[in-house]
Structure 1
Amino acid sequence: MTAASGFMEIALIVAFATLALGQILSIVRLVLGPTSGDRILALDTMVINALGLVVVMGIRHGVQIYFEVSLLIAMLGFVSTVALARFILRGDIIE
């Protein structure tokens, strides 16, 4: 094992732990959030953290399919956040 690969492993472990901590804190905000806006932001943050976790796993395992999965997660997360925000604001998603 070279020094560069050792540093890469440490960086991936730190990135994974940081994203996992962010995911846990987002779950806490989702449960304790006093307003619906806080809950929407917590869900959006959870999507971003899940996206980061999938990308870190893709880098760690060296498999290309993880990056395609991350694109799908990003698209679904954006659409679901917009739909939920419109539902909260207007009470209807489709006009």
Structure 2
Amino acid sequence: MTTLLAGALTVLISVTALLALARIYRGPSLLDRVVAADLLLSTMLAAVAVEAAVNRHATTLPILVVLSLLGFVGSVSLVRFAVREVA
């Protein structure tokens, strides 16, 4: 059962990453690309979390914390930049 679940999660995470990469490539605006990059980072977080859950270890917890902080700081800084461009 665990193998089937891990395979299904791998497929879903891979499809999500490919769709996010397609949105980053196609774009039309900077904010669309920023949202897609944030989605790609969230997908990476999910992949690391699934790997930790399947292998039953918590050694990747610092990686998850750093990646989530990177995503938060990056999103906030880009939104502040976009607000300055519009105003």
- Show the counterpart of 2:25: 31
Q: Does 1:48 align with 2:36?
A: no
Alignment root-mean-square deviation, CA: 1.3
Off by >3 Å, runs of 4+ in structure 1: none
TM-score, normalized by length of structure 1? 0.81
2:6 to 12, 17, 20: 12
Q: Secondary structure at the match of 2:28?
A: coil
List alignment gaps of at least 5 residues for structure 1. 1-6
Which of structures 1 and 2 has the larger relative contact order (alpha carbons within 8 angstroms, sep 6+)?
A: 2
List alignment gaps of at least 5 residues for structure 2. none
Structure 2 distance, partners of 1:20, 1:29, is 14
TM-score, normalized by length of structure 2? 0.87
Residue 84 (structure 1) shift? 1.4
Computing the radius of gyration over CA atoms, which structure comes out larger, 1 or 2?
1
